[in-house]
Structure formats: C-alpha cells, structure tokens
Copies of this chain bind each other. A is one copy, B any other.
C-alpha cells in the first residue's frame, strides 16, 4: 500500500469513526491486508485502537495485526480486551511474537494469560521469555523442521506436509542422535532429490548458526552477509533450539538503523509516540544537560580573556563561525567513523588509519576556509593583519581539533564498550565547541598582543 493510499484509508476511517459508521469500517477492514491494518490502527489513539481492533473479525487476521503492531500498542490492546478473546488470539500467533508481547505486559497480566494458555504453546512461550529481548533467543521461533541424518528425502517431505503451521519452512535442518545441529538443506533441494536418498548425503554440512545469547545485531549481520533466509539458533552444546527468520532480521535492521540515527543526535533510542511531550522531555533532557555543562565550562575557560575581548571587541563576531565550522567537520568525521564501525567497514584497530585520512582532510579544508575567514576577518576588523591571521589559524586549529575529537571519541567509547553512536550527539559537538573556542581565544590573544 502506497503512502497516498494509507493516508486515504486513514482519513476515511477517521471520518467513519466520527460518524459511528462501524459496519462500514468493518467492511473496509475485511478487505485490507493485516499488515496495512496494523499501520492504520497504530495511527489512532488508544481508545480508537481498541475499538478498531474489535472490528477485525477473523481470528487469524487479529493475530497477524497484533504481531505487526509495535509491542507497546499491542500490549495496550491485549490488556483491554476480555481475557478469553486475548488467549484465543495469543494461541493463534507465532510463539516468538507472543513472547515479545508478554514481555511488554505487566508481570501479573502476562502470568495470568500464560496460565490460561495451556499445552505446548505456553511452555514454548515461557521458554522464550527467559532470553534477553535483544538476543537470538529472544527473537527466535522455536518452530522448525529438524530431522535425523539417516532420514530419507521421502520421510522429510512427509514431515513438511504434516507440520503445516511451522513458520516459513524453506530450510530443513539435520540433527544427529544428540539433537546437535549437523547440516542444512533447502526445501528445494528436497524437491529435486530422489525420495530414497538419505539426508546426510545431500545436506550442506557447514551450517552457520548462532547461540541463544548472540546479540540480534550480530544475527542480522550474519544473515545479511551469507544471504540466508533463516539462521538456526543453538545452545552452547550445539543443540538446535529454534531459528531466526529473515523477516525478523529486517525488523532488527530497521530498528537498529533508527536507533543509531536517533542516538547520534542525542534524541533517545526510539521514535517516541507523537503526542507524548513528557517522555520526549525526559529522553532529551540528559543530553542537553551534558551539552549545557560542557558549554558552561567553555564560558568559564574564555572568561580570563575578557581583556583581549574588551580591546578587540570584533573578536566576538567570529565566535559563531569558528565553532560552527569546527562543529560541522567534527560531526562529519564522527558520523563517518561511527557508521564505518557499525557496518564493519572499518574495524576498531583501523581507526588510526581513518584518523590519518581525516587529519589530512582537516588540514586541507581548514587551510582553505582559514584563508577565506582570515581574509574576511582582515577586512572586518579594519585591516588588522593580526586579527586576519588569528582567525585563519583559529579556523585551521578548530578543524584539526574537530576531526581529532570526532575520530577518537567514538573509538574511546567503543573501547569502553559503550555504543559509539552515543558519542556524536552531545559529546563530540560540545567538546569540539569548547576546545575550538579555547583555541580561538588563546591564538587571538597571543597574536594580537604582538601584531595589531
């Protein structure tokens, strides 16, 4: 569904809701893909979300809509519908999605729902709830087709026929007598092989797997690198427990990209719900406080130069341009380094080479913009050679400081095991501001005390 069409659908639904034309909405809902319904419902407030969800009549669609909604929206809905209905939907959903959803609910409600869900599903979900939500265990589905090495192709195809509700079965995994993962083959390989061949003769033995505690970013990286449709998850004895499918990997990649981008701007970790001012303030306040304190230190550091400033008041006019240019270059460098580290484009021990390149970039651009600014400063100050020289050198220094901070601060964060993306937000910018400012005042005072 295109952007325009979802807007039309949203507008129509809003109009019909206002008029109370519920049967009309119901007809629209019946014709809409569950993934689109989830996007539609997500755009309403909580009361309307519950109301619209109530108009989805097909049980399978309800399960799909809930699985597609963000966890907090889905949790909001599931809490507000009768327990019996909720359990029916949960039983219809894939167990990895159920585990994600229950993990978001208050503990007493999730336990109540788990008690009401009986049988194998509830065991599986309880098993999944044990794993950290950002790990392979937390995003895996425990439903997969696993077969013994000595099984034949014919037996394997029969098993695929029987397990109709296994999510996305396009790989068949082969395990030994201890349930340890030993090989993999595609469903297609099965289809094109003779029925009486044993699996161990056609399987691919070197299967790439992850452990339950592998970080989801690493899972995504492997699936992307080896072009997989699913990756098996094993415990530390190599016993096959589940698999992560490529559709979940895509969600991970999208979420991680958004998270990185927001982190880099010091704007929290999630696209906050567009009506909540309070949560936006809470997320952003700490980053702004860091910037505030750093900039206050900057004010304190330049205060001793009050005399120079009083003598050469035009020095003040060039504060913004010098720190802005330094800030821009520093942000560029930090962004390139952080993103290169995140994509594996450069590794931590290669940052030095990247810094060397950035330094040459800064010397060139700093030289260039130093000449520009110096010329402007010379004219502005009424032909003061000293001031022209001072702003030129300050611009160059600010840029060199900027790339140094921009390259090394992410590296430092990465060494102390903090996501380097965090560093670009307030840290790089503030550090570049303060140090650039200090350089400007030191250089200008020194030069202006000698040359006018």
Contacts and interface: CB of A to CB of B under 8 A. Distances in A.
A273 B292 CA distance: 36
Interface string A391-432: 000000000000000000000000000000000111001100
A328 B160 contact: no
A349 interface: yes
A437 B320 contact: yes
Contacts of A345: 271, 274
A140 to B, nearest CB: 16
Given A161-B191, A226-B33, A281-B361, A319 B321 contact: no
A276 B323 CA distance: 26
B292 A369 contact: yes
Contacts of A7: 347, 349
Contact of A291 (B161, B292, B319, B328): B328
A288 B329 contact: yes
A95 interface: no
Given A328-B266, A344-B39, A433-B324, A251 B224 contact: yes
A336 B262 contact: yes
Given A33-B226, A227-B35, A328-B429, A321 B299 contact: yes
Interface string A312-351: 0111111111011101110110111001100111110110
Interface string A258-282: 1011101111000110111100110
Contacts of A104: none
Interface stretch (A51-59, A117-125, A303-311): A303-311
A354 interface: yes
Contacts of A181: none
Interface string A179-192: 00000001110111
Interface-centre pick from A229, A246, A266 (highest chain B CB count, 10 A) = A246
Nearest to A295: B321
Contacts of A277: 357, 360-361, 364
A254 B281 CA distance: 30
A175 interface: no
A112 interface: no
Given A226-B33, A254-B224, A339-B261, A267 B332 contact: yes
A280 B160 contact: no
Contact of A328 (B226, B288, B334, B349): B288
A250 B254 contact: no
A19 interface: no
Contacts of A260: 257, 261
A261 B264 contact: yes
Nearest to A70: B345
A249 interface: yes
A433 to B, nearest CB: 5
A443 interface: no
Given A169-B188, A267-B332, A320-B433, 9 more contacts: A3-B347, A33-B206, A160-B192, A253-B253, A264-B265, A277-B361, A284-B332, A292-B325, A323-B323
12 contacts: A157-B191, A170-B188, A246-B250, A257-B257, A262-B335, A265-B332, A267-B336, A274-B340, A288-B329, A288-B365, A315-B316, A328-B426
- 3 closest Cβ pairs, A-B complex: A316-B316, A257-B257, A265-B335
